[in-house]
Amino acid sequence: MTDWQEWQRSWDRQQEWYLPDREERFRVMLDTVEALVGDRPRVLDLACGTGSITARVLKRFPGATTVGVDLDPALLAIARGTFEGEERTTFVTADLRDAAWVDRVLAAGAGGPFDAVLTTTALHWMRTADLRVLYERLAGGVVRPGGVFLNADHMPDPATPRVNEAVHALDRARRDREKAAGTQDWADWWAEVARDPELADAAAERFGIFGDPRQGDHSDGEVQAPGEHAAILLGAGFVEARTVWASPSDAMVLGLR
Residue 216 has pLDDT above 70, yes or no: no
Residues 111-122, mean pLDDT to the nearest whole number? 95
List of residues 6+ apart from 181 with CB closer than 8 A: none
Residue 37 has pLDDT above 60, yes or no: yes
Q: By C-alpha distance, which of 52, 78, 81 is closest to 203?
A: 78
Residues 13-19, mean pLDDT to the nearest whole number? 96
Calculate the CA 206 to chain-centre distance: 17
Give residue 213's pLDDT band: very low, low, confident or very high (50, 70, 90).
confident
Residue 188 has pLDDT above 70, yes or no: yes
Q: DSSP secondary-structure letter at 53?
A: H
| Residues 56 and 28 sit within 8 Å (Cβ to Cβ) | no
pLDDT on residue 218: 56
Q: Is 47 helix (H, G, I), strand (E, B) or coil?
A: coil
pLDDT on residue 193: 97
Start-to-end CA span in the chain (Å) = 44
Give residue 220's pLDDT band: very low, low, confident or very high (50, 70, 90).
low
pLDDT on residue 237: 98
Q: Is 144 helix (H, G, I), strand (E, B) or coil?
A: strand
Q: By C-alpha distance, which of 142, 152, 138 is closest to 18?
A: 152
Residues 2-30, mean pLDDT to the nearest whole number? 97
Q: DSSP secondary-structure letter at 243?
A: E
Burial (CB count <10 Å: 0-12, 13-18, 19+), residue 90:
middle
Percent of the chain with pLDDT over 90: 92
Choose the most confident range, by mean pLDDT, from 124-128, 188-192, 211-215, 216-220.
Answer: 188-192
Encode pLDDT of 127-167 as tens digits: 999 999 999 999 999 999 999 999 999 999 999 999 999 99
| Residues 96 and 72 sit within 8 Å (Cβ to Cβ) | no
Question: DSSP string spanning 55-103?
Answer: HHHHHH-TT-EEEEEES-HHHHHHHHHHTTT-TTEEEEE--TTSTHHHH
| Residues 90 and 123 sit within 8 Å (Cβ to Cβ) | no
Q: What is the pTM of this model?
A: 0.96
Average model confidence (pLDDT) across the chain: 95
Give residue 219's pLDDT band: very low, low, confident or very high (50, 70, 90).
low
Could you give all domains of the chain from N- to C-terminal order, each with its CATH number? 4-159+218-256 (3.40.50.150)
Which of 162-166, 181-185, 220-224 bottoms out in mean pLDDT, i.e. has the lowest? 220-224
Q: Find the largest Cα–Cα distance for the chain.
A: 50
Q: By C-alpha distance, which of 179, 186, 152, 178 is closest to 10?
A: 186
Give residue 217's pLDDT band: very low, low, confident or very high (50, 70, 90).
low
Backbone φ and ψ of 164, nearest 5°: -60, -45
Alpha helices per DSSP H over the chain: 4-18, 22-37, 52-60, 73-82, 100-108, 128-137, 161-180, 186-195, 200-210, 226-236
pLDDT on residue 75: 98
